[in-house]
Structure 1
Amino acid sequence: MLVNTADEDGNYVDLGGEFPLEENEHFNNLLVNTQQSNIQVPTNVYNKDPYILNAIYNSEALNDVFIGNFQKDPTLTWQYFGSSTGFFRIYPGIKWTPDSNGVVAFDCRNRNWYIQAATSPKDIIIMVDISGSMKGLKMTIAKHTINTILDTLGENDFVNVIAYTDYVRYVEPCFKGTLVQADLDNREHFKILVDELHVKGEAKIKKAMKESFKILNEARANGQGSMCNQAIMLITDGAMEDFESVFEEFNWPERRVRVFTYLIGREMTFAQNTKWIACNNKGYYTHISTLADVQENVMEYLHVLSRPMVINHDHDIIWTEAYMDTVLFATKAQSLLLMTSVAMPVFSKKKETLSHGILLGVVGSDIPLMEVMKLAPRYMVGPAHVHKPRPGTRVNVLCFTGAAAGSLPCSRAEHWYLFHDLECPHRPPHMWLSCF
């Protein structure tokens, strides 16, 4: 946002500077700089933090890699690196346009490609305290925390939301005792219901915790949900009960379910209890005292869930479902219409930190579906069988291309150099497309 921005005296502002931009037909006539990538930092991240500046400096080598990739394959579009610290390096470089409030709210860590690459699929139960002590600003912060957690979930994840006082209440009674896919429709439905929550009564955490463990344990036993990571997100202003017996019965000693705790409000009286819950269940404790604290604190759970994957050097390549990038770009033309993103995690290989499982970020590239379809001749695309839907129902048409061995190759072999240096397999992953 600061590039090519000058002050009243005509001098370029700090962290700005001259950045040549010109229209490029390949990028739908958007103003870009194909000789250099540039950096975007979310509004809620301090752009002069030494830790951020050092991470940006360490990522500068990607600039030559991006340029080299584009020279090898001119069909490539956006290439980028999303850092776990929050900054976003994109090639070709662009000038970011602020919204009506004068800010750029884009945070790469909320993007589907980042979340899918940074963590494995997961089952999440969100427990929110709606007792009388949560009234006012605390409840506002709690609702925003729930919405932010929901925004970190994707179609490979499963979720449910429980509100509790002295009894357990499912925010959506139809989802009682089960997990539902965290697709866009269900996430938005939960947000609407969470906004309608009101405080009353006294908090009894044991009942809600038992119910949450039962849901997750039954899903695992019945082969339902993601069959991967499982976690409980506890959002409260304090935990006063003797809750150790619940963990002894349902989660110890295996600790298959991680428990993340979010202490809401400025009061620290019960901080030790909420820390104990998280630390004894392989989770993470955070204190959220203001609305501005929500985003950064919620993102911590993704780093924790990524640790086993990083330590084991699992860096599977992911493909997102087809989408239109209306968040990053303002118009359909600029968004290159429907696209899919291919991405993979980047982790620290330093010997002194390798055992800590430090995720550095996610690297990826966007691939327009029109480029994919060029590699899938129409005669190879099987017939689509769609039953007549009810009015108002969204229909997803799955397009598959078949190969002799039954695989689904949808990526050029020559694109594979994008990830060659990251020790990936020597052939492209298989993928399927959800075409809306």
Structure 2
Amino acid sequence: MYFSISYFTSFTELFLLQLDANETQEGRIHRIRPDFKEDPSFKNRLISYNHSAVHIPTDIYDGSTIVLNELNWTEALEDVFKKNREEDPTLLWQVFGSATGLARYYPASPWKDARKTPSKIDLYDVRRRPWYVQGAASPKDMLILVDASGSVSGLTLKLIRTSVSEMLETLSDDDYVNVVNFNTRVNNTACFDHLVQANVRNKKILKDGVQNITAKGITNYTKGFEFAFKQLSDPNVTRANCNKIIMLFTDGGEERAQEIFSRYNPEKKVRIFTFSVGQHNYDTGPIQWMACANKGYFYEIPSIGAIRINTQEYLDVLGRPMVLADAKQVQWTNVYLDALELGLVITGTLPVFNKTSSEDGSRKQLILGVMGVDVSLDDIKRLTPRFTIGPNGYYFAIDPNGYVLLHPNLQPKNPKFQEPVTLDFLDAELENDIKVQIRTMMIDRVPGNKTIDTLVKTQDERYIDRGVRTYTWAPVNGTDYRSAAFSCTCLIMVFLCKFEENGYTFIAPREYCQDLKITSNNTQFLMDFNQYIDKRTPSDPMCKYIQYIILPFNLIIKNVKGVLARFVATDGGITRVYPKSGGEEWTENAETFDSSFYKRSLDNDIYIFTAPYLNSKPPVHMFYLVYSSTRKCVCVCHVDCVILDDGGFLLMSNQEEYITQVRGLTLTPELHSSLSKRICRDIFSIFSLSKKEQFFSLFFPLKMTCILYFSLTSIEISFPYLVLLTKYTFVGFFSAYSEEDTSDAYSKESCITEQTQYFFENDNRSFQGVLDCGNCSRMYRAEKLPSTNLVFLITDAKSTCLSCDPKPLKQAEQPSIGPDPCMLAQNPRYRKGPDVCFDNNDDCIFCLGFSTAHHFAAVSLLCLMMVSFILLLL
């Protein structure tokens, strides 16, 4: 067979200057070398719209007949890609992922592996990407059955562990899974006693459990399969309720367990896939029969090189019913990190079928691959009218799992994260009963709106405010998503006709007019803006945001000693600082919609004072004060005097050690416990939830609340007067770990940290009491300063009672172990799977697979025989 193929391999740039000396000139001409240009639509990535590019996984031989055939027939897709872009110039990546592992994407671009694994080996396989997994088959309930008898000890057990880990990577959030091991007894491998959602957290727990399997005893397939069938049919747990699968990993055996299959699977509704693992002399006939008798497939995994290919080929089998149904249903994925560096994207997918017929006239039941079109979240955000619903309003959207597609708190901090970014709506915000109802109605595609009194966390993540917010939501037609708007109506619009040049003016870099160029230089942008608006009117169709500009008036306020500067900020993005010299040291964000001080002012009708940052974050001040002029306090040396803001941050003190603390609290744990009622509430933020509450003795109306949240989210919560808020930041969901296997070569790291916050809730103005420290005590009194967010606290000095000298509570992020993930899986949140299920209606009789390693072994043996024959001839 001869192929005449020209293509650009995405790795070409790696060897343009180092072509293999043995490569023939004829072979070289088949590789295209496009002319690339930077394209801002792709974040200045090198792009060529004249060609598509091809990526072939490292572990697949790019000269094989199968790959050459794929290159040949997928070449026609290039014209389709180009036509699509002509019809819609905003299209980003268009990708075809083949069931063989080849990926053809348009426009062409040199490949960059953003994960940068330590070995520098490219481990990208399109069949492992979230969009391919979700688009290739219907949801599945999978029970992985691991043989833990003594015969699998040693290398075979290591191969099984790695194989199971790779199998788990083929599952998405629409799937449910559990792993059990058996010999003469059956045991849950992890802490789950039923199927659980195949999210990142649960898969990590199952992987860890598999590593702890030990081999002993003898094999009893009857007990293993009976346990598996019962768990798959448990009606009391949430499941995918579509494809039902049992995956058996074993070295072989004599038992067929026919009685169990006749009793539990007479209609063959549960597929059985069997894997013979390791190099051994055991009879594999019985486990081949299990697969063939139950509409499954049999595979062999003799070595580590055969694991990846053979643990994902089952998806081709599950795709057969979809092919027979000719189901061309577009599916939209979860949010995930694009491998070609577009950032967070969603992908619309469509399966590609083989519609040809066999010689006997029957249809071929093969899924050829999945087509995908990426949509960047940045592009979606640009389409939402951000400045029309106020600084404290925002748009968000969720999918049927309750995961947010859009939300201001969807901000993953680990760019190497390879799993879908699954942040639940209730973790992006503080969970309460009303928000649970909103989430349920959105998932059920029931439109509505609710106005609630809720708590919000500030832009700088330091403060908690209470405000009235309105949620309005509706389904997005033609997609699985549901969109909503979160708004606050608390603005008074005042328009002025004159733009005075007094003070120092900052302007937010917004697209006020379509033909007004935005620059990062504030001075230049302000000059361009002034010249531009002289020629335009508020009703100009090119300037849809001009009407929202509120020009600040001149402040005529008598200078107050100690006040360095005053300012006016507006909803239109204009900020003016008085005097002009004060603006030269202004470090606030010019975009008022991103400024905590501005957004807080809309929820509070008092004077807001904010403590300066002592870490790397920028400071936020409502008034700049000369500290030296306020430091002289009426307090004397036998008492400690401090002024705190409503977040518990220190503004002033008569003790130097307090001033130099970085985000440290002056209130001790004893003082908090004497003032507070404690409620500890754990919220597992991204993937699933469980909640528990503990109550302790209380004296005064101050509550302490503990909240968990991941780095992808911001959580807000509230309780009385100064309320202690503890949150956990999850920078991903994996602690750094190493495995003996190669299944998780992508670097997955995370950390969990705890943060403490305080805020006012009620109107109580003063508190007082005594801290009993055994042989001495300390008196305290706290007064809330009128019309401000400040608290004045006076206590007996530490030196008067040294036994009352614990370490202060820290507001800086502290390491934490987080919640118990096994408890979280017991009460999963409400979700909905896909509306359509394609399962178990195929009639394919082929059920035996062969490992890639065997193909390579056969080729190697043939080569060896040829060399030997030539040597004999010589």
Shared fold per TM-score greater than 0.5: yes
> In structure 2, do the counterparts of structure 1 residues 57 and 9 end up closer, same or farther at CA, with 3 Å as the change threshold?
closer
Task: Name 1:421's counterpart in structure 2.
Answer: none
Task: Name 2:229's counterpart in structure 1.
Answer: 213
Q: RMSD in angstroms over aligned alpha carbons?
A: 2.9
**In structure 2, which of residues 379, 384, 396 is the aligned counterpart of residue 371 of structure 1?**
379
Please state how far the C-alpha of 1:7 moved relative to its aligned partner: 5.8
**In structure 1, which of residues 170, 173, 196 is the aligned counterpart of residue 188 of structure 2?**
170
- CA distance in 2 between partners of 1:10 and 1:179 (Å): 51
- CA distance in 1 between partners of 2:20 and 2:276 (Å): 47
- CA distance in 1 between partners of 2:49 and 2:446 (Å): 36
% identical aligned pairs: 32
- CA distance in 2 between partners of 1:355 and 1:161 (Å): 35
Task: Name 1:181's counterpart in structure 2.
Answer: 197
Normalising by the residue count of structure 1, what TM-score does the alignment of the two structures yield?
0.84
Task: Name 1:335's counterpart in structure 2.
Answer: 342
1:357 aligns to 2:365 (yes or no): yes
- CA distance in 2 between partners of 1:244 and 1:147 (Å): 29
Task: Name 1:423's counterpart in structure 2.
Answer: none
- CA distance in 2 between partners of 1:361 and 1:242 (Å): 34
1:115 aligns to 2:133 (yes or no): yes
Within a 5 Å distance, the mapping from 1:35-114 to structure 2 comes to 35-97=50-112, 99=116, 101-114=119-132
Task: Name 2:353's counterpart in structure 1.
Answer: 347
> In structure 2, do the counterparts of structure 1 residues 407 and 282 end up closer, same or farther at CA, with 3 Å as the change threshold?
farther
| Unaligned runs of at least 5 residues, structure 1 | 390-396, 411-427
Normalising by the residue count of structure 2, what TM-score does the alignment of the two structures yield?
0.43
Q: Which amino acid aligns with 2:229?
A: F
Contact 2:349 2:370 survives alignment (8 Å)? yes
Task: Name 1:271's counterpart in structure 2.
Answer: 284
- CA distance in 2 between partners of 1:385 and 1:282 (Å): 40
SS of the aligned residue for 1:235 comes to strand
Contact 2:256 2:286 survives alignment (8 Å)? no
- CA distance in 2 between partners of 1:10 and 1:86 (Å): 24
- CA distance in 2 between partners of 1:365 and 1:278 (Å): 36
Please state how far the C-alpha of 1:408 moved relative to its aligned partner: 2.2
Computing the radius of gyration over CA atoms, which structure comes out larger, 1 or 2? 2
- CA distance in 1 between partners of 2:219 and 2:376 (Å): 50
Q: Which amino acid aligns with 1:335?
A: L
Q: Which amino acid aligns with 1:310?
A: V
- CA distance in 2 between partners of 1:290 and 1:129 (Å): 17
Task: Name 1:141's counterpart in structure 2.
Answer: 159
**In structure 1, which of residues 234, 237, 243 is the aligned counterpart of residue 251 of structure 2?**
237
Contact 2:355 2:364 survives alignment (8 Å)? no
- CA distance in 1 between partners of 2:159 and 2:144 (Å): 14
Q: How many residues align?
A: 400
1:320 aligns to 2:333 (yes or no): yes
| Unaligned runs of at least 5 residues, structure 2 | 1-9, 398-424, 432-438, 449-472, 484-685, 687-711, 714-874
More divergent stretch after superposition (92-101 vs 280-289):
92-101
- CA distance in 2 between partners of 1:301 and 1:269 (Å): 23
Within a 5 Å distance, the mapping from 1:391-410 to structure 2 comes to 408-409=475-476
- CA distance in 2 between partners of 1:17 and 1:369 (Å): 32
Please state how far the C-alpha of 1:2 moved relative to its aligned partner: 3.6
- CA distance in 2 between partners of 1:114 and 1:382 (Å): 25
1:191 aligns to 2:207 (yes or no): yes
- CA distance in 2 between partners of 1:66 and 1:382 (Å): 31
Task: Name 2:820's counterpart in structure 1.
Answer: none
Please state how far the C-alpha of 1:402 moved relative to its aligned partner: 8.3
> In structure 2, do the counterparts of structure 1 residues 270 and 10 end up closer, same or farther at CA, with 3 Å as the change threshold?
closer
Task: Name 2:317's counterpart in structure 1.
Answer: 304
Task: Name 1:429's counterpart in structure 2.
Answer: 479
Task: Name 1:6's counterpart in structure 2.
Answer: 16
- CA distance in 1 between partners of 2:375 and 2:245 (Å): 32
- CA distance in 2 between partners of 1:146 and 1:8 (Å): 39
More divergent stretch after superposition (59-68 vs 96-105):
96-105
> In structure 2, do the counterparts of structure 1 residues 8 and 43 end up closer, same or farther at CA, with 3 Å as the change threshold?
closer
Q: Which amino acid aligns with 2:348?
A: V
Task: Name 2:270's counterpart in structure 1.
Answer: 257
Please state how far the C-alpha of 1:10 moved relative to its aligned partner: 8.9
> In structure 2, do the counterparts of structure 1 residues 122 and 9 end up closer, same or farther at CA, with 3 Å as the change threshold?
closer
- CA distance in 1 between partners of 2:80 and 2:364 (Å): 28
1:284 aligns to 2:297 (yes or no): yes
Higher share in helix: 1
1:248 aligns to 2:266 (yes or no): no
Contact 2:342 2:376 survives alignment (8 Å)? no
Please state how far the C-alpha of 1:403 moved relative to its aligned partner: 7.1
Provide, for residues 185-217 of structure 1, a one-character-per-residue CA deviation record: whole Å limited to 9, x for no partner: 111111112122222222212111101000112
Task: Name 2:754's counterpart in structure 1.
Answer: none
SS of the aligned residue for 1:282 comes to coil
Please state how far the C-alpha of 1:314 moved relative to its aligned partner: 1.4
Please state how far the C-alpha of 1:122 moved relative to its aligned partner: 0.5
Provide, for residues 103-140 of structure 1, a one-character-per-residue CA deviation record: whole Å limited to 9, x for no partner: 32100011111111110010000001121111222111
- CA distance in 2 between partners of 1:86 and 1:354 (Å): 26
Q: Which amino acid aligns with 1:230?
A: K
Provide, for residues 4-60 of structure 1, a one-character-per-residue CA deviation record: whole Å limited to 9, x for no partner: 433657988756442322211110011121211111110111111112111221011
Contact 2:355 2:363 survives alignment (8 Å)? no
- CA distance in 2 between partners of 1:373 and 1:96 (Å): 27
SS of the aligned residue for 2:287 comes to helix
SS of the aligned residue for 2:84 comes to helix
Contact 1:97 1:104 survives alignment (8 Å)? no
Q: Which amino acid aligns with 1:216?
A: L
Task: Name 1:415's counterpart in structure 2.
Answer: none
Contact 1:117 1:316 survives alignment (8 Å)? no
Please state how far the C-alpha of 1:431 moved relative to its aligned partner: 2.2
Q: Which amino acid aligns with 2:479?
A: P
Provide, for residues 257-302 of structure 1, a one-character-per-residue CA deviation record: whole Å limited to 9, x for no partner: 0000000112253211110000000000001101110111112211
Please state how far the C-alpha of 1:350 moved relative to its aligned partner: 1.2
